[in-house]
Structure 1
Amino acid sequence: MKTRLICAALAASAAYCVPAFAQSNDTLERLGSFRTTGTTEFITVDQNSESADAIRSTLERIELPDGFSIDLYALVPDARHMAVGPQGIVVFVGTRKTEVWAVTDRDKNRVADEVKNFAPSLAKAIPNGPCFSPEGVLFIAEQNRVLQYPAAEFFYESPDVVAVPVIADGELVPEEEVSYNHTARVCDIGPDGKLYVSLGQPYNVPPAEKMDLYNEQGIGGIIRVNQDGSDREVYTHGVRNSVGQDFHPESGELWFTDNQVDGMGDDIPPGEINRQTEAGQNFGFPWYGGGSIRTNEYKDAEIPADVVMPVVEMQAHAADLGMMFYSGNQFPDEYKNGIFSAQHGSWNRTEPVGARVMFTPVDAEGNVGETVPFAEGWLDENGEYLGRPVDVAQLRDGSILVSDDLAGAIYRISYEAPQAQ
């Protein structure tokens, strides 16, 4: 088994190294028994540093529709996917590193007062994907496990929190398939009360000999389990790397983004937003690299007859990540039940694109309108990224948050109707 080593220097000439999974499992046992670990310190993030002013300066260039404004909500290092607590007390923010951040607006002025690491006594590996159940149980999908944290909005004030394995370390994907590529998981609780977890596959295009294993495990798809981890099934097939999902507020159907194959050119294949209407559907990868563009590796292979094509094709290589359906009451009616999605920006396109928040109108039957830019300006005229949006989440007041892992920040976008002239 692969191990990540946590080394504590005991003397100038020696170090004692404990495998991270062993340390983590021992800590889980203590936390599960409501016993302390001895951890007393948090990492806190200074919200008044010079970088805050620099980020506010960048936000002055962000273009939004009339009536909308964007402000710095919090400085959050490596901010990725977000989960807003059902009680509205705290926002949990995942990273592709080792921390999950707890972001609290204590005085409710819509700016965070405190950012500190969550559950510091417990080692984590790429805890990218937090999500909440309606009952207030926090789930965090890591590189190769899923943990649940009951009553996280209450326990987060302590370094020690209740943590329970849902999918144990090493069991989300087989250890031999653990990769540094496409390991940022996301999760959601569906209307059926089950937990949905995306499993990006590690290749640009996987070799044919891997496909049976991947189809069996749900790698390159989305799996569904009960909240205790039982009854695992592959809910979604034919996905390259989905890092954004949500359920339609009216139909309860799962919708998700997918990132297309690299190396086929600047303008193909397109990114995707997909709509799933029943369990087990196949969305075309690796036969299609995005949209209807065939991959070179599978161009002569027979395409499954039941492939479902995307409902929205996005600009190629804009890197569509987090998405959410808007259900709030603050924004104008035309945004109700529509999709806000974050484009992280291209990494290998000759002319960069993306780094913006998009909006796609969706009606009660799931029909989509034209996708348009909603917030843009993080990519400047020189092709330099000033920020890279990752995820979108909704606060209880109907405003939305946008995370940015380049700037290490979360922004808040709010609406106030323009005054009549």
Structure 2
Amino acid sequence: MKPINVLSIIIVAALLSACSESKIEDSAQLGPNPELPEAERGLLPTLKIADPAGWGDRRPIVPSGYNITAIATDLQIPRQTLVLPNGDILVAEGRGGNAAKLRPKDVIAGYFKSKGTTSVESGDRLTLLRDGDNDGTYETRNVFAENLNAPYGLALIGDQLYVANQDAVVQFDYQPGQTEASGPPRQLTALPSEVNHHWTKAMTASPDGRLLYVGIGSNSNIAENGLNVEENRAMIWEIDAKSGTHRPYATGLRNPTAMDVLPGTNQLWAVINERDELGPRLVPDYLTSVQDGAFYGWPYSYWGQHVDSRVKPQQPDMVAAAVAPDYSLGSHKAPLGLAFSTATMGGKFTEGAFIGEHGSWNRSDPAGYDVVFVPFSNGKPAGDPVDFVTGFQSEDGKTFGRPVGVTIDPKGALIVADDLSNTIWRVTPTQ
């Protein structure tokens, strides 16, 4: 087979992308009942490349009454953070995945995606940040653990620190005040890692500390490589934190990238990256409560019973059982962070969920590249999302940062990991 002329394909893709854009407004796709257009399938997916640029004198934009500062820079691809009981912040740094590009579409998408990411080498480590005098400046920075395998999810249960690498959940002994691990990690349970199209392994703990929940993304867009490579994937595992035994908790979730438990409840919530190549307004990424034993449609359907005709053979019984998500975030926004608010955040940001949206590639009008707040009432989303941290991308396409994980610290600050500029941002109320 002759080598693929990537540049020629990209030029064609850009021309085709400009030919067809859904007329549905983004606002019509937000909330519990998003407007869903007809699928738009073409030779090549709709594409728009992020154009990385340095922050310079800029910084992200936050609402009036809040400040934002960079508390760590020059990291090695920060993804998720964990605030420890003494206020230290652990940062998981790294990049994983080893999926082969089997189709021309894969080559094109891979080229575009790579141009919108950092060129920094994967850290494969945990870095600890400490603000010793509580003045908001994190003056101490240590490598807590290194030689990990694309760490992503983090959880602390008592004196055990759990890390979800791309191939296994591992654990370290932890005592408050530690600045580095006291020994190598111990494996709790292996995770599916063959091919690893979606490599991130999100993780959170149950409120009682008995269980870990780990999100495992699919090995493809819509099972185009066969269901045999999807075994134990596109689901959330429930793992016993002591024994490592596990079971599928919920399935049909294409790529669960962040999870949190709603405060005052035992209810698990997650953000999901949905499928591509059905057009710029399909399929909406979403925030949803995760029900034990539920099936959420992937790959056979989306948003409940909307059939994806690309998947063969079709499975009507599976489609009929598919649960519709709770809340649409809009199409191709790539949510990668989720943290429920606390009263210390203040104002209209007291009750709800902060969501880090990494940003789109499968549409010509960019979407995401921000942190939004979804208000909650009575344990459910209640209203449109509110911009909380913006300014990661300018109108001319220059992209200064891409938010990933979000975390609330005990003082009421929002911690935001930015894996394009390799920065940790901290947002605090001014009063």
Q: If the length of structure 2 is used for normalisation, what is the TM-score?
A: 0.75
Out of 143, 158, 161, the residue aligned to residue 166 of structure 2 is: 143
Deviation at 1:244, TM superposition (A): 0.8
CA contact (8 A) 2:223 2:230 kept: no
Letter in 2 for 1:127: P
Q: Match of 2:58?
A: 58
Deviation at 1:305, TM superposition (A): 3.2
Q: Match of 1:393?
A: 407
Deviation at 1:255, TM superposition (A): 0.6
For residues 8-63 of structure 1, give each alpha carbon's deviation from its aligned partner in whole angstroms, at most 9, with x where no partner exists: xxxxxxxxxxxxxxxxxxxxxxxxxxxxxxxxxxxxxxxxxxxxxx647221xx33
Q: How does 1:111-122 map to 2 (within 5 A)?
A: 111-120=137-146
Letter in 1 for 2:353: I
CA contact (8 A) 2:342 2:351 kept: yes
Q: How does 1:82-97 map to 2 (within 5 A)?
A: 82-96=81-95, 97=122
Out of 72, 75, 78, the residue aligned to residue 74 of structure 1 is: 72
Deviation at 1:112, TM superposition (A): 1.6
Out of 328, 344, 355, the residue aligned to residue 358 of structure 2 is: 344
CA contact (8 A) 1:132 1:139 kept: yes
Q: Say if 2:125 is the partner of 1:99.
A: yes
CA contact (8 A) 1:249 1:337 kept: no
* C-alpha RMSD over aligned residues: 2.2
Q: Say if 2:155 is the partner of 1:131.
A: yes
CA contact (8 A) 2:354 2:406 kept: yes
Letter in 2 for 1:117: V
Structure 1 Cα separation of the partners of residues 295 and 382 of structure 2: 20
Deviation at 1:87, TM superposition (A): 2.3
Q: How does 1:273-292 map to 2 (within 5 A)?
A: 273-276=287-290, 278-289=291-302
Q: Say if 2:191 is the partner of 1:172.
A: yes
Q: If the length of structure 1 is used for normalisation, what is the TM-score?
A: 0.77
For residues 71-107 of structure 1, give each alpha carbon's deviation from its aligned partner in whole angstroms, at most 9, with x where no partner exists: 1111133111111112223333343232222122223
Structure 2 Cα separation of the partners of residues 142 and 260 of structure 1: 22
CA contact (8 A) 1:378 1:385 kept: yes
| Alpha-carbon distance change, 293 to 111 in structure 1, aligned in 2, over 3 angstroms | farther
Structure 2 Cα separation of the partners of residues 293 and 117 of structure 1: 47
Q: Say if 2:203 is the partner of 1:187.
A: yes
Identity of paired residues, percent?
Answer: 25
Deviation at 1:209, TM superposition (A): 4.8
When structure 1 is superposed on structure 2, of 323-332 and 390-399 the one drifting more is 323-332
Letter in 2 for 1:380: S
For residues 340-391 of structure 1, give each alpha carbon's deviation from its aligned partner in whole angstroms, at most 9, with x where no partner exists: 0000011232222211001101123324322222211111111121100001
Q: Say if 2:281 is the partner of 1:258.
A: no
Q: How does 1:395-414 map to 2 (within 5 A)?
A: 395-414=409-428
Structure 1 Cα separation of the partners of residues 319 and 365 of structure 2: 34
Q: Match of 2:251?
A: 237
When structure 1 is superposed on structure 2, of 76-85 and 97-106 the one drifting more is 97-106
Q: Match of 1:38?
A: none
Deviation at 1:208, TM superposition (A): 8.4
Structure 2 Cα separation of the partners of residues 290 and 115 of structure 1: 43
CA contact (8 A) 2:303 2:323 kept: no
| Alpha-carbon distance change, 292 to 379 in structure 1, aligned in 2, over 3 angstroms | farther
Structure 1 Cα separation of the partners of residues 343 and 377 of structure 2: 15
Deviation at 1:153, TM superposition (A): 4.2
Structure 1 Cα separation of the partners of residues 178 and 429 of structure 2: 33
Deviation at 1:138, TM superposition (A): 1.3
Letter in 2 for 1:111: T
Structure 1 Cα separation of the partners of residues 286 and 325 of structure 2: 6
Greater RCO, 1 or 2 (C-alpha within 8 Å, sep 6+):
2
For residues 150-202 of structure 1, give each alpha carbon's deviation from its aligned partner in whole angstroms, at most 9, with x where no partner exists: 215444336x43632211xxx312xxx52242111111111242011111111
| Alpha-carbon distance change, 314 to 294 in structure 1, aligned in 2, over 3 angstroms | farther
- 5+ residue gaps, structure 1, are 1-53
Q: Say if 2:130 is the partner of 1:108.
A: no
Deviation at 1:298, TM superposition (A): 3.1
SS at match of 2:257: coil
CA contact (8 A) 2:223 2:311 kept: no
Structure 2 Cα separation of the partners of residues 131 and 229 of structure 1: 16
Letter in 1 for 2:141: V
For residues 264-304 of structure 1, give each alpha carbon's deviation from its aligned partner in whole angstroms, at most 9, with x where no partner exists: 1112111111112x411111111234576532323853144
Structure 1 Cα separation of the partners of residues 183 and 178 of structure 2: 5
